[in-house]
Amino acid sequence: MFPGVSATSARRILAAATLLALLTLSACAARPVFHARQITAAPPSPSVPTPMPSTSPSPSAAPTTTAPPAPGSLDWYVSQAPTFPEAPPPQPVPLTATGAIPFWHRLPTDQKVAFITIDDGGLARPPAVADFIWRAHIPVTMFLNSPAAEEHDDYFRQIQVAGGIVENHTVRHTSLAGRSYDYQRQEICGAADKLETLFGKRATLFRPPFGEYDSTTLTAARDCGAKAVLHWSETVHEGKVRYQTPEKVVQPGDVLLMHFRPALMDDLLAALKAIHRAGLTPALLEDYIR
Ligand SMILES: [Zn+2]
């Protein structure tokens, strides 16, 4: 039922604790308790959790309002999100304590889960994304470029409050393959340091820009605190899932890549539907790579 799995739910509950007193609660008979919370204004900032009071009647206060939500509205996206079977308790993938860190297109797990990742951050930041992630309980990992994260930190912090995790995608978004160790370390550690300052957590995952890397990248990423380097198995763009593997269906452990682009709401919905069609449940990468 809840795609965020238990550990994610625990994180969300903690994040929500500071907000609950200020949020307008709106019981929605059609959804279980986790879906009952409704953010009726701009997503709350965790540093200043002061969502505006609702200016329109809540669904529970207006039982005569039975019209379906307008296509393209936040309510519509939430209504279109599939209901998933409960995710299994996460079994973290094995990691070696020393030596090179792994590079994965797909996590080596047989558990019936897949992972949603969102990259970059500088191009577009659709305003309803945090609320969608919060209300539909979408576990997401954000691989951010640190300058975009710094310029728009409130936006990404709202997604963090909604359960998203911030990870590392370098400072300048240049290809790292073939570059010196010092260059790569500067790009990876520089972003990790900034993201840690902004979001209060050291990145443990790294995704190289364009997916381009070499053995030096794995060394530098490890030296900057990464436990794994992630590629992807599917891309999602403008509401379409493109499979990079011959199966043409999401597989257990798959990593879906999308970007902070104008159609991110459609991309999130398309990813959820593809994961649902495959009989899987979305889960959080960080619950599997510890
Ligand atoms: Zn990128």
d(CA 242, CA 47): 37
The reported pLDDT for the residue numbered 151 is 98
d(CA 264, CA 274): 15
The reported pLDDT for the residue numbered 40 is 39
Quote the domain boundaries for residue 246.
Answer: 1-290
Which tens digit of pLDDT belongs to each residue from 38-71? Answer: 333 444 444 444 444 444 444 455 556 678 999 9
Ligand 1 centroid to residue 280 C-alpha, Å: 26
Ligand 1 centroid to residue 269 C-alpha, Å: 20
Please say whether the beta carbons of 168 and 206 come within 8 A.
yes
CATH code: domain of residue 213: 3.20.20.370
Distances (CA, A) of 19 to 12, 35, 49, 164, 205: 11, 15, 6, 16, 28
Which tens digit of pLDDT belongs to each residue from 158-188? Answer: 999 999 999 999 999 999 999 999 999 999 9
Closest CA to 258 of 176, 142, 134: 142
Ligand 1 centroid to residue 95 C-alpha, Å: 25
* Helix, strand, coil percentages for the chain (3-state, nearest 5): 35, 15, 50
d(CA 72, CA 64): 22
The reported pLDDT for the residue numbered 212 is 98
Give the number of domains in the chain: 1
Ligand 1 centroid to residue 168 C-alpha, Å: 10
d(CA 40, CA 45): 14
